[in-house]
Structure 1
Amino acid sequence: MKKYSEEFKLMVVREYLEGKLGYRALAKKHGIKSKSAIDRWVKVYEKLGQEGLTSKKHTESYSVQFKLDVLSFIKRTGSSETDAALHFGLTNPTIISSWKKAFSEDGSEGLNRPKGRPPMSDKAENIKGKQAKKSEMTNEQKLERENELLRLEVEYLKKLRAFQMDPEGYLEKHKQRYHSNSKKPSN
């Protein structure tokens, strides 16, 4: 995504507010890929003024509760990400889509992840931590896993015994199943 300077955004917004050209015409005139970017700039300018157009280095971090409030507001009111951003005073509405994705993938834990890559010195510790989490199964989880593996083993041994007792009959029986699965209509 191309970054635009504050001066450029302000010029385009003022040109729009003069009323001579619409979003699409301005986007074409200035070589902006999407008219929605201009729409977003205008809304931010109208709500927050010139300061809303300043590119902030993403130093500001938001609490998990704040992110949940924003996502809840969108779900409750059906607002767009841009409208929600303006409602909560965010100058970058696109950040909300990354919050949505993180929340849908990992729930509220996904919203608590630190930004960026971890420092290189912590990388080895992170790998060890992930391995420790994998090995920290509860006793119940370990027993369930063992039960599942034993069930699979018993099922395998039954099929093996059936095959050893009557290989041709076993193959004939399963051959029908495989043929019926492979006769799916082709589009």
Structure 2
Amino acid sequence: MTKLPQTQGVLNFIQKYLYNSTNYNFEDGSTQAINVPYPDSGVYENYILHYPDATSTELLDINIDQLYSEVMVLTDPKIERAYEYILEERDPGTSSTNILVTVGVDDIAAFDGSASSYMHQLQQKYNFRSIVVSIGPNPNYLEVLAESPDWYFTATDSNGKWVAEQISRIICHL
């Protein structure tokens, strides 16, 4: 199956830049992350890690490769499905700081309010805070899902590393 170019852009940003900050410490558990694809996150359930499972960027890279190999091209992709999956299937534990970094290209869910509704539920139940990254040079409307305008980024091939560094600074200064 041919993968959509947008999906490859998301994968490239995450693997090349997002997890590769020296500010993160996966080995001792002080930094925890999971990859949750959309659409239909439940389809990938056997491949989605639990929060303490990712003890290195290498494991996260292997995991995202597994998820990417299973990605299906569906006609109705919505970010809300990933948020719903996290809400219903992945408890982040007792961490005092939970950050949801959404990396996407699809802005449809931002308009109908569903993703915002699930984000609000994640904030209420687990105290999640939201950083959003849109992939590609064309603007879209995922900004409404970010906690603030300062927590919304557009990443391209030329600024991906800078965007990831900004995200790392935000997370490490909370």
What TM bracket, shorter-length normalisation?
A: under 0.3
- RCO higher in structure (CA 8 A, sep ≥6): 2
- Hey, which of these two has a bigger chunk of helix by percent? 1
Relative to the length of structure 2, the TM-score reads: 0.21
Asked which structure has the greater CA Rg, the reply is 1
